[in-house]
Amino acid sequence: MASKRKRVVLSLADKLKIMEQLDKGVTGKKLSEIYGVGQATICDIKNSKSTLLNFVSVLENEDGSSSRKTMKIATNKNLEDAVFKWFLQQRSMGNPISGPILCEKAKILAGKLGYSSFKASNGWLRNFKFRHGVRALDLAGEKLPADSAAAENFIEKFKTASESYDPEFVYNADETGLVWKALPITTLASKRESSAPGHKVSKERVTVLNCANSTGNHKLPLLLIGKSRNPRAFKNVKKLPLFYKSQPKAWMTSALFTEWYDEVFIPEVKKHQKSVGKERSKVLLIVDNAPAHPTAELLERENGQFKTTFLPPNVTSLLQPMD
């Protein structure tokens, strides 16, 4: 007795491929063997070609997911369209949108459109994201917009300018603010708790400067800038694993950058050069055009052995590795 064939549900993308192969003359029997479905399924796909193509066309215009397996539309289509339109508007302005924010907006729109029984459940959110091809992305670096043209122009010029440098000694440095007292925005709570009281957002911050070479095998000690000249937390600490400096607002300044450049960057790079047997190699440091960074002329050292170049404005999110 023949074994029962396992049920296979084809995605819309698979169905499109099958239609293309049918147009090229591949037989239904052959396709049924390739995709593990019955010949009747292949026949149904062939007969519904027009409907499938129209649905997929609309799906692509709405940024939908072709990995979905049915042509079923949302129960509350008007509401879903309104939520998705709002979502696209917010993302076009660069506003980050989380699942809870999306659900809250859906509830507000549902009330305005008269969907009194609508519930923005986790299941609805999951299906909404799948229907519209929405996925999670980590926010990285500085906010858009970025100047793509300036980035491409810099890359072309940099290729020529960096030809005489060993990649081992091409470095990038960048500052970032660290809100070190920040608390989580969500919390776990026991069943006895009906709510979790909010808290005032702390603005206590320090500045951290990261620096490494382009090959990734030489990472310099961090520069940490705080407000206190002698932090209580450092009491009785004989040696820090970083370079600490203070500034009234914990900001980077030209004086602090120059001090780091002369007392940390150059000595650490020379130490690395000695360890790899490439002493006296030319060194290039790439930084952004922040006002706190001194000019290239002021940072040139040892008859041009150490030089600095600056990224154009608004290209940090596209080009800067340390961002």
Catalogue all structural domains in the chain, each as residue range(s) with its CATH number: 1-72 (1.10.10), 77-131 (1.10.10.60), 148-182+202-319 (3.30.420)
Strand 283-287 with 243-246, pairing: unpaired
Question: Is the torsion defined by CA of 119, 120, 122, 125 positive or negative?
Answer: positive
Q: pTM of the full predicted structure?
A: 0.55
SS3 label, residue 161? helix
Residues of the chain with pLDDT under 50: 1, 61, 65-66, 69, 71, 187-193, 196
Cβ atoms of 271 and 279 closer than 8 Å: no
Confidence at residue 34, expressed as pLDDT on a 0 to 100 scale: 84
Residue type, 152: E
Per residue in 74-105, pLDDT (tens digit) is 678 888 889 888 888 877 666 678 888 888 99
Cβ atoms of 154 and 312 closer than 8 Å: yes
Confidence at residue 215, expressed as pLDDT on a 0 to 100 scale: 93
Matching residue, tokens 């042509």: 71
Confidence at residue 193, expressed as pLDDT on a 0 to 100 scale: 41
Rg (CA), the chain: 29
Sheet arrangement for strand 243-246: 243-246, 223-226, 206-213, 170-178, 283-287, 306-310
- Phi, psi at 16, each rounded to 5°: -65, -40
Confidence at residue 137, expressed as pLDDT on a 0 to 100 scale: 65
